[in-house]
Structure 1
Amino acid sequence: MKTLLLTKEEVDGLICMHEVIGAVEEAYKAFNSDQVVQPDYMGIHLPSPRGEVDFKLGYNKANEVISMKASSGGFIDNPTAHGVPNGMGTILLFDARSCALTCVMDGSLITGLRTGAAGAVSVKALARKNARTVSSMGTGNQARMQIRAINEIMTIEEVRAWDSHPDTLARYKTDIESEFGIPVVTANSKREAVEQADILVTTTRGKGSLVEADWVKAGTHIVAIGTDQQGKQELDPEIFRNAKVVVDSMAQCAEKGETWHPLNKKIIAKDDIHGEIGEILVGKKPGRENDHEVTIFDSTGMAIQDNVAASRIYQNAIDKGVGTFFEFFRS
């Protein structure tokens, strides 16, 4: 049994955003069709200036693949002290029929791609059909990925952006306008960015409320990306009181997502959560029902997203003869 090794550069050439969006939709549908075994993910916080490491494990009955991903972030001294990026990811794929290791691949690109794709899938299901303006709270790599993905499934006429770091905000404006030809308006305040949004994307590592409830206009769709551990927060919990709340995983979001905050403050109860996005995609529950609803998609990220996206990359690599084989095990 040979194992395929795929580097970051090889992974980058083996899948495009359009294909990742399809993979994430497939993943969400599988999750809500009893095709997925997905234990709670684990996170380890290391002493400063180091960051956090998350481990996500999932089994997809549909493709008979087990995936395991380790992803790190926030290691601010890495480039200078260790000569490696601030955050990295590695994915292992196993054949579930034998548990043989079939592939080891870079996982840092997949995490960014499938997270961006998740936002786009939620826009398809929950945003107004006439939405044209996207506001971005935070302008880092994932904020760019969200625009890249959402641009695949709708016409974005304008991006409004806010960031606490002016230099990062200026680079974001230059990059988005250059790559997509979409005008970017840099907001003078958080409120200014939020009030103009048809679709509001939050991608910070916030430790408190960035978006206040009275800034959000009727009909806004919020893509809440940044909160995937307790201690992180981007939204005023009051936003949830009268919103349609959709999550990727009820178990994860109630414990580690943005949804934890209004639950903890008893602003909403679990029964007030509309459902999981996979339930909407398979037709068990409705998506947006009118143009006045405020909708929230709370995404903590799931192993099944990595599983399906990585499986497609692996199959594309086999089909194209990309990567290096090595032998771990001999019978």
Structure 2
Amino acid sequence: MVLMADRARRRREQSARALDHGVITSMKTLLLNREDVGSLISMKEVIGTVEEAYKAFNSGQVIQPAYTCIHLPPPRGEIDFKLAYCETNEIISMKASSGGFPNNPTEHGVPSGMGTVLLFDAKTCALICVMDGSLITGLRTGAAGAVSVRALARKNAKTITSIGTGNQARMQIRAIREVMTIESIHAWDDQLQALAQYKADIEREFGIPVVTARSKQDAVEQADILVTTTRGKGSLVEAAWVRPGTHIVAIGTDTQGKQELEPEIFRNAKIVNDSIAQCIEKGETWHPLHKNIIHGDDIHGEIGEILLGRKPGRETDDEITIFDATGMAIQDNTTANLIYRNAIARNTGMAFEFTCP
């Protein structure tokens, strides 16, 4: 314990020397670990910066190349590489994030999902920050769901259904409760132990009652807001189960081969994408397009267009709205930049020499 405290003290002293009145000195790169990242931003701040990201994207202030995904041989999963430049903050971000590595905890002692974010000063291309990215991915994805709820859900929505009970399912609740009052949650998971743990965790953390559903249908039929966060490989949610007026937050499909919703759900719904280019190629929207249930013109628009007032959000209490979120590099950019700025202001992290003059 003494050794750990001494290391922490030395780390703070190094950071204080390296951070000159809140500004990184020349040729210094700031290092932020997961603990640092978690202490430097709140969910309310993340929701704000994700809204900022969507608006910047639809205002022509973002360069965001198509992201690259590498699928590794089983039992390993995939690694995504996402890159973005934002004109408003003059930051280039690059994130590498992995998912679906089930043996990591037992064989390697690390999480099943990992992430790292690099920030570059766009004026010089200097590497200004390296930070843990696993928490950022969870935070900004949860925030995306909350942004869509504020823009597209009924104003009298009270009940959430969660299909999937993993970390992102929890993150969605943490975010959505910032923009609405949740009276109850109906949850389903094919793993009964995971379902029971979700109920215990949510009720302990938030005091929101959780009903563990006997079936997916029972859960979906109760939803004012339906959140899907699985790594589904087929239609988990059927069109006949979805009530008029439901808002669907479709999170789990972000690469070809994943699916959570029966494509028929899209036929008469208001479809909103985070990025149309991504969603028609890798998102839930691909499936009804592929089956000719909808066409490109049937996509209402992108969430940023609604936030900017260029297109309407929900227009009636009966319409079904779908937010298909594949995850955008610009969300990482604005969120990581705010974390970096907060770190500078609070003298948090360790600065080191990365580039020699």
- The two structures share one fold, judged by TM-score above 0.5: yes
Match of 2:124 among 82, 98, 101: 98
Is residue 223 from structure 1 mapped to residue 268 from structure 2 by the alignment? no
CA distance in 2, matches of 1:214, 1:319: 52
Paired AA for residue 38 in structure 1: Q
Equivalent residue, structure 1, for 2:76? 50
Aligned residue for 1:323? Answer: 349
Identity %: 75
Q: Distance in 2 between matches of 1:130 and 1:248?
A: 24
1:36 aligns with 2:62: yes
Q: Does 1:284 align with 2:293?
A: no
1:194 corresponds, among 216, 220, 227, to 220
Alignment deviations for residues 131-161 of structure 1 (CA, whole Å, 9 cap, x no partner):
0000000000000000000000100000000
The Cα of 1:303 is off from its aligned counterpart by 0.3
Once residues 242 and 184 of structure 2 are traced to their aligned partners in structure 1, the CA distance between those partners, rounded to angstroms, is 18
Alignment pair present for 1:118 and 2:138: no
Distance in 1, matches of 2:192 and 2:250, equals: 22
Matches within 5 A, 1:130-209: 130-209=156-235
CA distance in 1, matches of 2:328, 2:294: 23
Separation in 2, partners of 1:76, 1:181: 30
1:73 alignment partner, one of 76, 81, 99 = 99
Deviation at 1:90, TM superposition (A): 0.1
The C-alpha deviation readout for 1:251-291, integer Å capped at 9, x for no partner, is: 00000000000000010001100000000000110000010
Give me the whole-angstrom Cα distance separating, in 2, the residues matched to 1:297 and 1:329: 42
Residues 67-121 of structure 1: CA distance to partner in whole angstroms, max 9, x if unpaired?
0000001111112222211110000000000100000000000000000000000
Partner of 2:267: 241
The CA deviation string for residues 154-186 of structure 1, in whole angstroms up to 9 with x for no partner, is 000000000000000000000000111100001
Q: Write the deviation string for residues 204-248 of structure 1: whole angstroms up to 9, x where unpaired.
A: 000000000010000000000000001000000000000000000
C-alpha distance in 2 between matches for 1:234 and 1:40: 23
Q: State how far apart, in whole Å, the 2-side matches of 1:228 and 1:181 are.
A: 31
| TM norm structure 1 | 1.00
Letter in 2 for 1:68: M
User: What is the CA–CA distance in structure 2 between the aligned matches of 1:245 and 1:188, rounded to whole Å?
Assistant: 29
Give a deviation string over 1:30-82, Cα, whole Å, max 9, x none: 00000000000000000011111000000001100000000001111112222
Q: Which residue identity is paired with 1:225?
A: I
Q: Give the count of matched residue pairs.
A: 331
Tell me the SS of whatever aligns to 1:283.
coil
Larger Rg belongs to: 2
Q: Give the 3-state SS of the residue equivalent to 2:235 in structure 1.
A: strand
Output the CA distance in 2 between the equivalents of 1:260 and 1:228: 10
> Which residue pairs with 1:2 in the alignment?
28
SS in 2 for 1:98: coil
Look up the equivalent residue of 1:264 and give its one-letter code: H
Aligned structure 1 segments of 4 or more residues deviating by more than 2 angstroms: none
**Normalized against structure 2, the TM-score is what?**
0.92
The two structures, once aligned, show a CA RMSD in angstroms of: 0.5
Q: Which runs of no fewer than 5 residues in structure 2 stay unpaired?
A: 1-26
State the one-letter code of the partner of 2:175.
A
289, 297, 300: which one aligns with 1:263: 289
Which sections of structure 1, spanning at least 5 residues, go unmatched?
none
**Distance in structure 1 (CA, Å) of the matches to 2:110 and 2:176:** 30
Q: Distance in 1 between matches of 2:338 and 2:246?
A: 33
- What secondary structure does 1:152 align onto? coil
1:87 aligns with 2:128: no
Alignment-mate amino acid for residue 220 of structure 1: T
